[in-house]
Structure 1
């Protein structure tokens, strides 16, 4: 079954800390994450015999290139690979595909593959079944064709215009559109326009119910940019006083939580839901959404976890190339599980359990990463050794930038460098008390906070890291800040009369007192990879949020340094 990891703690073969990063390691002979060229031979399902290793390679390359893939059967969604896990193995001349999640488990023998324009179709056979069945792997959960997607957005634009005209009497709906405008970061998924009334005006933006959850959750970022654009390009006699955001019914919570922490002196922000069937527009009171529902897992002994899994760790070390042990980071993910990583890329894991029908402890070892796990056995040991050799030969600071193993999971690599060098880069932080990849749970959704630590005054510090341009960096960081603030504010008075935060009660920060002040928020990325829209969005954050944008040097793999820093007013 899929596992939810606790906050990460670390042990390193050469130091006392380490790091994890999910990704997919391709199978035997594959080029990890590489796109297939047009000259690739497409396998037809004509009954011809296809080597199992070739079938496994086709599947793993597709999963590596499409981390948000979805598995369909007869048009019905079975697995979302962002939440599920998989294993592709070769056994007795067959290619076995196993998929599992919290909802279901599936195992099939793969007998053929066919590359299509928008998917990978695989022919499978259930155990004991004579007739093959087809599964379809699509790049993401949005299964609409481009034509259908465009038609749905045109219909939504017409619907929104009717609803706005009827709901805001006295205002004129002006310039409603969803045209692509890459210069200003506007895409076709959002319908934007203006409501005009004399010299006053409001910016308005909406997204339809057919859009993905990621599109809907990104609407506040685009709304702020649209408001900023309207203010900069409007007639000097007209003042844009606020922004109206319209989301589908029952999708408002994430936007409401974020909107509560904007600067409401800078603009009048309003949130609405639209039921497209009844065409009913309902205002949401985002100031009364309550505290973010956050959950913190109990801290555990890193040393004890490593000791429980030591025999499995040693077994992995024995398969690494010369010098590999010193470069490996060993991370304790829970009291009974550790993972091994190279520059943030997790390549193996050891779980401590019990042997069948006994209380004898036994280590379960697997290799691969992200959603891909292959059990380590005598049969798969040569494959593991080959993968480790390629990984350690490719993933180093002077590696080939065209090599997929060098490029992949750059963000986790950057996080690893920052975590190791944080005390030198930012001396005001407690570099010895760092937690990485901390689960941030709210409203049923799980995200991973990159780095959590405290400064010399005991004040919490939340750090979000990006290695590439990300339009939504500020809002993602704000999500984590909200959750950490909520946990820190959770301070019931104990029997000794002390009011300890949730972090202190759960054993974090090694007994250090945590300040009651709201957390500081740090956002870090290479200077040339900071999206131009990030700073305008940050300027609309509440004055209560003390943020800092840290620009790093471009050659951070070789030597990490700070180019410039920008702080909130």
Structure 2
């Protein structure tokens, strides 16, 4: 196997399950969750490109120096440096503090808890190892309890896991339910018991409202102080605080910034779009979805990734060069589709195409109303983008944008819809200036 193919296969296998962190020379770079990646080149030193909305990294890979269950380590070259660096992908479950349990310790503790709290049930199996073939993460313990002639599927999250692992546990609980039914074909699995750490259940409880009511879910939290499992009522625990960003605030911010930005827009009017961020009082400029400049309090800053260089008469030629590079490389007809400017933030590029003409998605959608990031504290998870629009007959529509497959997309879409429905029922959507004139 050529090294590039070996590298790609190793990365795909290692990152397929579990929460992974990216580190370089021992320092944390970013969580792998939501990151896009690509191996380029077929020679002995292929390029590895990692990118997300906040992060962009390209390294030439010299060798795989460690590949175990805990980590995948690469010897890499950074452009402009002679000495090789070390790029690592670390499984989150192996990075624990002194108060966190190992996976086996957690399994033993959970076995004791289940036996003590559910004496009428017999534990048939309980494992904590990953099962990549069935997309089951090693971050969770999963098992089957037998009660008479029926069974209960169990999935539990250890204490100390990231909020990301806890919030997305429902995805793996549903996958485990399907697999457990195949394993226990002789006995009906009548429910799923999902066990989370103390005070972490709100997102999962919220998302349970999107599931078929006939699917019986039991939600518990583990109280370590009393070492008991507390049953949670999802209807009470799932009331998440969600705030709409008033559309009028966005429009006012755009009107304030637009005079300072017209000259920049005129350099590439078909590609540059404005995106107000009401909370930070900024307006971002994107070139086919890629942020390259921002306006704040009358001043303009530009640059890929950080946008820190202030626009002045002296720096204006640099901005024009940047826009020429963007036009050359971030273009559907670009010669080099492997260029970092072409590959960066594909969901944002997809968003720009959809917002340009939403009827490309469905001819019944109303082009006048397409809103992004309507919530102040939700959306944009793992590189997934949400658009809120409406049909010509007045029916609300959510569009989820993702450039590649994503295991959590269905439940995150349902999560977003539940938030929208709540705001719709309360009248907040109309009150905050969205969809004027639509009834």
- Return 199-208 or 306-315, whichever deviates more: 306-315
Residues 143/202 of structure 1: CA separation in 2 closer, same or farther (3 Å cut): closer
As a proportion of its length, which structure holds more helix?
2
What does residue 293 of structure 1 align with?
241
Q: Where in structure 2 are the equivalents of 1:232-251 lying within 5 Å?
A: 232-236=182-186, 238-251=187-200
Q: Cα offset for 1:372?
A: 5.3
1:457 aligns with 2:402: no
Deviations 1:91-148 (A, max 9, x none): xxxxxxxxxxxxxxxxxxxxxx995555xxxxxxxxxxxxxxxxxxxx8995964899
What does residue 504 of structure 1 align with?
430
Q: Of residues 173, 198, 209 in structure 2, which corresponds to 1:223?
A: 173
In structure 1, what is the Cα distance between the partners aligned to 2:93 and 2:156? 21
Deviations 1:22-71 (A, max 9, x none): 8358xxxxxx53134347568xxxxxxxxxxx9xx99xxxxxxxxxxxxx
What does residue 480 of structure 1 align with?
416
In structure 2, what is the Cα distance between the partners aligned to 1:343 and 1:467? 15
Taking structure 2 as the reference length, the TM-score comes to: 0.75
What does residue 193 of structure 1 align with?
143
Q: SS state of the match for residue 394, structure 2?
A: coil
Q: Cα offset for 1:150?
A: 11
Q: SS state of the match for residue 485, structure 1?
A: helix
What does residue 5 of structure 2 align with?
none
What does residue 418 of structure 1 align with?
354
Residues 300/449 of structure 1: CA separation in 2 closer, same or farther (3 Å cut): farther
Q: SS state of the match for residue 61, structure 2?
A: coil
Uncovered stretches (5+) of structure 1, i.e. residues with no partner: 1-20, 26-31, 43-53, 59-112, 119-138, 354-362, 491-500, 514-569
Checking the alignment, whether the CA contact within 8 Å between 1:300 and 1:334 is kept in structure 2 is no
Taking structure 1 as the reference length, the TM-score comes to: 0.59
1:340 aligns with 2:288: no
In structure 2, what is the Cα distance between the partners aligned to 1:371 and 1:277? 44
In structure 1, what is the Cα distance between the partners aligned to 2:407 and 2:98? 26
Relative contact order (alpha carbons < 8 A, sep ≥ 6): 1 or 2 greater? 1
Deviations 1:495-522 (A, max 9, x none): xxxxxx2111111112322xxxxxxxxx
In structure 2, what is the Cα distance between the partners aligned to 1:202 and 1:341? 50
What does residue 327 of structure 1 align with?
271
Residues 213/374 of structure 1: CA separation in 2 closer, same or farther (3 Å cut): farther
Root mean square deviation, CA, Å: 3.5
Residues 163/370 of structure 1: CA separation in 2 closer, same or farther (3 Å cut): farther
1:374 aligns with 2:404: no
In structure 2, what is the Cα distance between the partners aligned to 1:502 and 1:429? 22
Deviations 1:212-246 (A, max 9, x none): 1101111101001111111133233x100010000
What does residue 34 of structure 1 align with?
58
In structure 1, what is the Cα distance between the partners aligned to 2:355 and 2:262? 25
Q: Where in structure 2 are the equivalents of 1:347-496 lying within 5 Å?
A: 347-351=292-296, 353=297, 363-368=298-303, 373-377=308-312, 380-381=315-316, 383-399=318-334, 400-441=336-377, 450-490=386-426
Residues 186/161 of structure 1: CA separation in 2 closer, same or farther (3 Å cut): same
What does residue 273 of structure 1 align with?
221
What does residue 312 of structure 1 align with?
260
1:259 aligns with 2:208: yes
Checking the alignment, whether the CA contact within 8 Å between 2:101 and 2:159 is kept in structure 1 is no
Checking the alignment, whether the CA contact within 8 Å between 2:384 and 2:409 is kept in structure 1 is no
Residues 256/145 of structure 1: CA separation in 2 closer, same or farther (3 Å cut): closer
In structure 1, what is the Cα distance between the partners aligned to 2:351 and 2:361? 13
Checking the alignment, whether the CA contact within 8 Å between 2:330 and 2:341 is kept in structure 1 is yes
Residues 468/338 of structure 1: CA separation in 2 closer, same or farther (3 Å cut): same
Q: Figure out how many residues of one structure are paired with residues of the other and give that number.
A: 373
In structure 2, what is the Cα distance between the partners aligned to 1:489 and 1:233? 42
Uncovered stretches (5+) of structure 2, i.e. residues with no partner: 1-50, 63-74
Q: SS state of the match for residue 350, structure 1?
A: strand
Q: Cα offset for 1:190?
A: 0.8
